[in-house]
A and B are shown apart, each in its own frame.
Chain A
Amino acid sequence: MDWIMTVDHKKIAILYLWAGGLFFGIGGIEALLIRWQLIKPMNDFVDAQTFNELITMHGTTMIFLGVMPIIFALMNAVIPLQIGARDVAFPFLNALGFWTFLFGGLLLNLSWMMGGAPDAGWTSYTPLSGTAYSGTHGVDFYTIGLQIAGLGTLIGGINFLATIITMRAPGMSFMRMPMFAWTTFITSAIILFAFPAITVGLVLLTFDRILGANFFVPGGGGSPVLWQHIFWIFGHPEVYILILPAFGIISEVIPTFARKRLFGYSSMVFATILIAFLGFMVWAHHMFTTGLGPVANALFAVSTMLIAVPTGIKIFNWLFTLWGGSVRFATPNLFASGFIPTFTMGGVTGVMLASAPADFQFHDTYFVVAHFHYVIVGGLVMGLFAGLHYWWPKMFGRMLSETLGKWTFWTFITGFHLTFFVQHFLGLMGMQRRVFTYLPNQHFDLLNLVSTIGAGLMGAGMLLFLANVWITSRKPMDAGGDPWEDGRTLEWSIPSPPPEYNFKQTPLVRGLDAFWKEKMAGNKGMTPAEPIGSIHMPSATPLPFIMSVGIFIAGLGFMFSRDQFVSGFVSFLFNNYIVTALGLLITFGAMLVRSLYDDHGWHIEPEELEGR
């Protein structure tokens, strides 16, 4: 109950973490099933239809439901602390964002149990994703589930923008903001501009499928290429939504463990902004083989290659942060150090893909599968591991085991390269992606076997991490406020886990790496910017949860509005949109309660603060 009603950003962070862990686990199991099917030619472990459902759900789950909430978990746990705030700008919305996200994700995954998962790939290209070729409700679960989950992401993004713009501690100018806060800020801005595109796309596709519209149906005058544009105008920025926070994490971890400030801070900020900007200009590089013509292909090829420049700046800045440092390889830094070469390998294949005539060969083959896993798994997932190990003591007050952490790292990275490195060659040797099996004697057999073995190792690495989490949860809460000893930013200046109000007194920021600066000046903690006073806190409330349940019910109701059920009464309820209306009623009712009932929150008084 406590968890359902909470509006505390630190608890919402933990909720995001568990939800992300759940979906990441589901996506991971799907990945292992896919790899098991491909272990040898003409395997019949799963059938063709199930395989397509598996790749679709694996991709969709991983991109939208697996890594995204873990990113949000870290942002929620860290951002208010890093900028010296007591919470996010809109705690109520923060909770609402989480619950809509969770219910959207649950809806999507219900499809496995309710007559068939989506099967048109995570890109859902039409006409394959239209009712004519995808007859189950699978794609409806995709459109409506993602719509609801996307709402949560959008709410979260806007919230972080507002938080970072308005709630920085005194003295923290934008150019004194930690890198992770910067990348969160830019990521949120990308969310703000990119998510509306997919929202519109999903609405139109829903109309095509449920109301019989023809936006993307060729026979009715619609255009499948239009869907590709809409999808990728969202989809390309989406990859930057994923990778920029990882860049932020690496930029926090490396300076801490090198005991040096980040090299070229302002060029890092500039590079981040540039990457975000270019990220919006290059969507058609996913469509080189669609037949846009040489002019479009040339333009999009060149603009894509340009992204290599700011990315290169980042890589070298990280390397030169280590240069001359006193580098300690604790688990977070192991992951960060593994990130640099691995991510670079994903980056260079990205530049290769940008060369359009070469992409005519790479596109839709295992080369591409290798490339984006190098970026997403080798980059983002490694970054998240670095971040989780790094901030775990701050979030939970307990240090993860270093021994197990190192084992996790070595198992995971070995498995990762085994799985995905060979896939570059599979692609070049003629293996297209999204195939449920392949004929023998094409020289694909051995490399596929190697890849599957690697996937098993990665799975083992994940299990080691889970074991670490479980073992750690039974240890006493004894992590200090600055457990890595070299913490540089504000979150390390308060106890682990932080009290409900974060900062007893808002700190005064006197430079970049504010806490480090105070430590170097010989101070024990931050200089406060205000006297101790009464702290205003928002009240816990079940309304965000109830609103999300309402949307969930409305979504289900709309999806089945054309179906005939065994019971005539149930059909009546669905076909007349009564279920949909009921769901919306719950949501709007909760909104009404929220507007009518004025909740002023509560206060923590100075006596109580001083009490301990």
Chain B
Amino acid sequence: MMRTWQSARRLLPLIAVFGMVLAGCGREDLSVLRPQGPAAESSLGLMKLAISIMIVVLLIVFSIAAYVMIRFRRKPGQNGIPEQTHGSFKLEVLWTVIPLILVIVLAVPTVRTVFALGDNHSGDKNAIKVKVTGHQYWWEFEYPDYGIKTAQDLIIPAGKDIAFELTTNDVLHSFWVPSLSGKIDTNPTGATNRFSFSAPKEGVFRGKCAELCGPSHGFMEFKVKAVSNDEFNQWIEAQKAPAVLPEDPALAKTFKEQCLKCHAVGDQGLSVGPNLTGIGSRESVAGILLNDDTRQDGAPVEENLKTWLHDTQGVKPGNLMPDPKQDMGLSDDEIDRIAEYLAGYKLN
């Protein structure tokens, strides 16, 4: 009785697998189980095939295990010596051949998908080219065909293939948007990786760095924003427009001298740090302070910018930006006004 219950309990996790896979769990903009694009769909297709085969295998193993453990349990007073069987050639061949067949069933579509996903669209005229560069702990996105750069928010036109070229500026990172596609590492130049995906639906998808890259690895997030074609073109134009600097000339001077020696806005500044053009309309500050103030874990842009500028190390430990107050000598008031200016720097 007790045993039956225990073996039934062994099956519970399995039932849970089925339940959760079928229900599709996790956030739509984040979960591998709720794919929003063809690349993620083909990975999930294989995962479903694999898990089905594997659940069958598990069911067989678990049932035999439960059966032998219950049926052949030594009863009190049972002292005999069971027959010393040597093995069975037939049975052993059986459980060599069946797994082999199962492996082939999985291997064929695996190989096919490997080559299908290997298609990187780098020669495709219609694809949008994006150069991704990983930095400790932020992402740079360059559109070579348009001559613009942005950071943290990757804006793409929905439905189009995006041809990526990925490198890193320092240590290895890995570029991953679970709901759109599997991940790919960013290696240093010389071992540049190419791959592609597309997002048929408009929306914002969460991306992550998946390769340990230092203390703030876990905070190296980004967003992929799929917009309509028109919106995309507007965004490109706005991004190309000349820089908007703070109205107050003194503040503009400070901003240029202190911030633009690493960052860029419009046509000014350098690209040592993330490009700040139009940061007021981004999804997040520093990739993790969400600008969505309708949600409890978000806050208005301006507040997030202030949080960041007053305590960069507190937000992202180990990041390489100098501290505005300690290292750049800005006053609290200047910091707040720069935050206010940046929050108002919106595209469109």
Which chain A residues border B218 with CB–CB below 8 Å? Answer: 48, 432, 434-438
A85 within 8 A of B: no
Bound-complex Cα distance A476 to B221 (A)? 60
B211 near A298 with CB under 8 A, answer no
**Residues of chain A with a CB closer than 8 A to B20's CB:** 425
Q: Mark B177-216, 1 if CB is under 8 A from A, else 0.
A: 0110111110111110100000000000010111111111
Flag whether A256 is at the interface (Cβ < 8 A): no
Is B170's CB under 8 angstroms from A127's CB? yes
A364-B210, A438-B218 in contact; A345/B32 too (CB < 8 A)? no
Q: Do residues B208 and A361 form an inter-chain contact, with CB atoms below 8 A?
A: no
CB distance from B73 to the nearest CB of A (A): 5
B88 within 8 A of A: yes
State the Cβ distance, A33 to closest chain B Cβ, in Å: 16
Is B106 in contact with A324, judged by CB distance below 8 angstroms? no
Which range holds the interface residue count of chain A? 35 or more
> Is A403's beta carbon under 8 Å from chain B?
no
Residues of chain A contacted by B40 (CB below 8 angstroms): 361
- Asked whether A136 is an interface residue with its Cβ less than 8 Å from the other chain, the reply is no
- What's the minimum C-beta distance from A492 to chain B, rounded to whole angstroms? 16
Contact with B along A538-557 (1 / 0, CB 8 A): 00000000000000000000
A429 and B50 in contact (CB under 8 A), knowing A313-B95, A341-B65? Answer: no
The stretch that binds B, out of A14-22, A108-116, A275-283, A325-333, is A325-333
- Bitwise interface map of B from 245 to 282 toward A, beta carbon under 8 Å scored 1, else 0: 00000000000000000000000000000000000000
What are the residues of chain A within 8 A of B32 when measuring CB–CB? 361, 427-430
Q: Are A430 and B206 in contact (CB under 8 A)?
A: yes
Closest to B97 in A: A309
Picked from A125, A305, A306, A425, the residue with its CB within 8 Å of the CB of B212 is A125
Q: Which of the segments B77-85, B142-150, B232-240, B340-348 contacts the partner chain?
A: B77-85
Tell me the bound Cα distance from A365 to B32 in angstroms.
11
Asked if A533 CB lies within 8 Å of chain B CBs, one says no
Stretch at the interface among A68-76, A287-295, A467-475: A287-295
Assess the B87–A317 pair: CB atoms within 8 A.
yes
The answer to whether A432 touches B69 (Cβ under 8 A) is no
Partner of B297 from the list A308, A323, A436, A439 (CB cut-off 8 Å) is A439
In chain B between 20 and 74, which residues have their CB closer than 8 angstroms to a CB of chain A? 20, 25-27, 30-33, 40, 42-44, 46-47, 50-51, 53-54, 57-58, 61-62, 64-65, 68-69, 72-74
Is A305's CB under 8 angstroms from B95's CB? no
Q: A355 to B183, Cβ gap below 8 A?
A: no
CA distance A198 to B14 in the complex (A): 39
| Interface-side segment among B114-122, B302-310, B325-333 | B114-122
The answer to whether A356 has its CB under 8 Å from any CB of chain B is yes
Set of chain A residues within 8 Å of B25, measured between Cβ atoms: 425, 428-429, 443
Which B residues are in CB contact (< 8 Å) with A341? Answer: 10, 58, 61-62, 65
Residues of chain A contacted by B174 (CB below 8 angstroms): 289, 363-364
Is A358 a contact of B13 with CB atoms below 8 Å? no
Q: A48-B215, A127-B170, A319-B61 are in contact. Are A327 and B68 (CB under 8 A)?
A: yes
State whether the Cβ of B125 lies closer than 8 Å to any Cβ in chain A.
no
> Which among B27, B46, B118, B209 is the interface contact of A355 at CB below 8 angstroms?
B46
* B110: interface (CB < 8 Å): yes
State whether the Cβ of B226 lies closer than 8 Å to any Cβ in chain A.
Answer: no
Rounded to whole angstroms, the CA-CA distance of A225 and B211 in the bound complex is 13
How close is B49's CB to chain A, nearest CB, in angstroms?
A: 8
Is B8 on the interface with A (CB-CB < 8 A)?
A: no
Instruction: Tell me how far the C-beta of A18 lies from the nearest C-beta in chain B, rounded to whole angstroms.
Output: 33
Chain B binder among A152-160, A261-269, A457-465, A592-600: A261-269
User: Within 8 Å CB of A428, what residues of B?
Assistant: 25-26, 31-33
In the complex, chain A residues whose CB is within 8 Å of the CB of B73: 327, 329
Q: Is A316 an interface residue (CB 8 A)?
A: yes
B33 touches A429 (CB 8 A): yes
Question: Of B81, B172, B317, which is within 8 A of A128 by CB?
Answer: B172
Q: Given A224-B172, A319-B64, A432-B176, are A345 and B58 also a contact pair (CB < 8 Å)?
A: yes
**Pair B115/A298 contact, Cβ less than 8 Å:** yes
User: Quick check: B297 and A293 within 8 Å, CB to CB?
Assistant: no
Interface centre among A121, A298, A349 (most CB of B within 10 A): A298
B176, chain A: closest CB distance, angstroms: 7
Do B13 and A436 have beta carbons less than 8 Å apart? no
Docked pose: A52 CA to B271 CA in angstroms: 29
CB of A25 within 8 A of chain B? no
For A329, the closest partner residue in chain B by CB is: B73
In the bound complex, CA of A315 to CA of B107 (Å): 22
> Complex formed: what's the CA distance from A352 to B73 in Å?
34
Knowing A267-B87, A436-B215, say if A291 contacts B26 (CB, 8 Å). Answer: no
B321 contacts chain A at the CB level, 8 A cutoff: no
Closest to A309 in B: B99
Q: Is the CB of B103 within 8 A of A289?
A: no
Closest to A264 in B: B87
Residues of A within 8 A of B216 (CB): 48
Q: Which residues of A contact B118 (CB under 8 A)?
A: 293-294, 297
B83 touches A264 (CB 8 A): no
Question: Chain A's nearest CB lies how many Å from the CB of B18?
Answer: 13
B1 contacts chain A at the CB level, 8 A cutoff: no
**Closest-CB distance, B109 to chain A (whole angstroms):** 8
B138 vs chain A, min Cβ distance (A): 16
With A263-B85, A306-B103, A327-B68 known to touch, is A360 a contact of B183 (CB < 8 Å)? yes
Chain A, interface SS category: helix
Cβ-defined partner of A337 (8 Å) among B65, B92, B114, B176: B65
B288 proximal to A (CB < 8 A): yes
Bound: A328/B69 CA distance, A:
9
Q: With an 8 A cutoff between CB atoms, is B294 at the interface? A: no
| Contacting residues, chain A, for B65 (C-beta < 8 A) | 319, 337, 340-341
B117 contacts across to A, CB distance below 8 A: 294, 357, 360
Asked if A139 is at the interface (CB within 8 A of a chain B CB), the reply is no
Q: Is the CB of B82 within 8 A of A259?
A: yes
Q: Choose among B33, B85, B95, B297 the residue that contacts A324 (Cβ–Cβ < 8 A).
A: B85
B161 to chain A, nearest CB (A): 17
In the assembled complex, the Cα of A326 lies from the Cα of B179 at a distance in Å of 51
A218: CB under 8 A from chain B?
Answer: yes
A49-B317 in contact (CB<8A): yes
**Interface residues in B290-336 (C-beta closer than 8 Å to A):** 290, 295-297, 317-318
Check if B84 sits within 8 Å of A261, measured CB to CB.
Answer: yes
Contacts of A344 in B (CB 8 A): 57-58, 61-62
Chain B residues near A169 (CB-CB < 8 A): none
Per the bound structure, the CA–CA distance linking A293 and B44 in Å amounts to 20
Docked pose: A264 CA to B95 CA in angstroms: 12
Q: Nearest Cβ distance between residue B29 and chain A, in whole angstroms?
A: 9
Say yes or no: is A602 at the interface (Cβ < 8 Å to chain B). Answer: no
Bound together, the chains give a CA A425 to CA B10 distance in angstroms of 18
Q: Report if A585 contacts B (CB, 8 A).
A: no
- Residue of B84, B183, B211 near A125 (CB, 8 A) is B211
Chain B min CB distance to A344 (Å): 5
> A residues within 8 A CB of B172?
125, 127-128, 224
**Known contacts being A133-B171, A291-B187, A309-B103, is A298 close to B50, with CB within 8 Å?**
no
With A and B bound together, what is the CA distance between A421 and B295 in angstroms? 31
Q: How far is the CA of A298 from the CA of B31 in the complex (A)?
A: 25
Q: For A440, list chain B residues within 8 Å (CB).
A: 297
**Which B residues are in CB contact (< 8 Å) with A312?**
57, 95-96, 98-99
Q: What are 23 sample pairs from A and B whose C-beta atoms fall under 8 A apart?
A: A47-B215, A133-B171, A224-B187, A260-B85, A298-B115, A301-B111, A302-B107, A313-B99, A316-B95, A324-B85, A326-B81, A345-B13, A352-B47, A357-B43, A357-B114, A360-B43, A361-B47, A363-B174, A428-B26, A430-B32, A432-B209, A441-B297, A442-B27
Give 6 nearest A-B pairs by CB, closest first: A360-B182, A435-B218, A429-B26, A294-B118, A264-B87, A48-B215
New contact pairs (19) apart from A261-B86, A263-B88, A429-B33, CB-CB < 8 Å: A120-B212, A127-B170, A264-B86, A291-B184, A291-B185, A294-B118, A297-B118, A298-B115, A301-B110, A323-B72, A324-B85, A326-B74, A328-B74, A344-B61, A345-B58, A358-B46, A361-B32, A364-B174, A364-B211
